[in-house]
Amino acid sequence: MITVIVGKPHDGVKTKLVSLSDVVGATNEAEFEAGSRANIKPGEPKWANYVKGCIANFICDVPAFNAVIVSTVPAGAGLSSSAALEVATYTFLETLSGKKPEKPEEKALACQKAEHNFTGVPCGIMDQFISVMGKEGCALLLDCRDLITKQIPMLHMDNYIFLITNSNAPHKLSSSAYCERRDCCFEAAKILGKKSLRDANINDIQTLISRNASDHVIKRARHVVTEIQRTLDAAIALEKGDFQQFGRLMNESHDSLRDDYEVSSKELDSLVSAAREVDGVLGSRLTGAGFGGCTVTLLRKDVVNKTIQHMKAKYAGIPAFYIATPAGGAREISIN
């Protein structure tokens, strides 16, 4: 899956965008006046706001340009289609202007800000970071407390592969659901006297219970605290080439997302359950923000077809399947 933007500047005053991807309920063309970044405002069609937001948050003004965008990343599936568009756009603007931020995290943060301010989606930073800093053959460990990253080589993967399954039950990042969970985490941190739950540990969950925190606060905090530890453990497992352990952590992660964070769905649970029934599947969990979208499954290469057929037979809907491998992030592509 890939998102590509191709274009060139011109001497006019209007920027024109054409999307060759299916844009549901909107025109595939957008046009707006270029000029000062401060004058760029969100509007219709909504998909163009991801591009406008990147222009408005770029490090300098850019000339008007014409561009064509094509993406094979399914929209509304929780596979970071918006981050892919943002980071591809920002990379295009770098090429157009000849200027880049000093640090790659500045690029990711600018794209996140574009999504917050121009589309109204209160997204996190993980999608933008991996779209900027992805490295072939590696996983990216991101600590959201200080934005420190570490590339984790995924060695000894010759016999294993990741299978992405799109439930085709649309993923919707509900602002109210997101804010409810975020607010619960803020409340838990406040009760514990900590800046954030990144500073908490499993013993703090008992403290929340003893201080009569609500069930929702306890469950949301328990997921976050245990997920942080699972993430650290997963990085160690990858470094050791211990894919059995990595798969077990994937399973634990999904169960926690389902039971404590409550962001799964019957479609996602059905796909995960079906995948886990196949011998040779090491782990399966939802991916993205939940509430529909996709699952990711780690399995042996020799059982891919068997797993797909079993999931199709068990799932009430019509899923789509993709083979995923760790690849590089956004970059300029030479046409020569």
Of 62, 55, 51, nearest to 98 by C-alpha is: 62
Asked if residue 117 lies in contact with residue 110, where contact means CB atoms within 8 angstroms, the answer is no
Q: CA torsion, points 319, 322, 323, 328, in degrees to nearest 10?
A: -140
Asked if residue 172 lies in contact with residue 289, where contact means CB atoms within 8 angstroms, the answer is no
**Collapsed DSSP state (helix, strand, coil) of residue 140:** strand
Cα separation, 115 vs 228, whole angstroms = 25
Q: Which of 11, 22, 127, 302 is catalytic?
A: 127
Strand ranges, E, within 182-244: none
User: Annotated catalytic, 127?
Assistant: yes
**Collapsed DSSP state (helix, strand, coil) of residue 63:** coil
Tokens of 19: 């999307």
Written as one letter, the residue type at 89 is: T
Vertex 328 angle, CA 147 and 223, to 5°: 45
Indicate the pairing of strand 29-33 with strand 14-19.
antiparallel
Tokens of 311: 């999931």
Sheet holding 294-300, edge to edge: 281-287, 294-300, 160-166, 320-324
Tokens of 325: 């491998």
Catalytic residues: 127
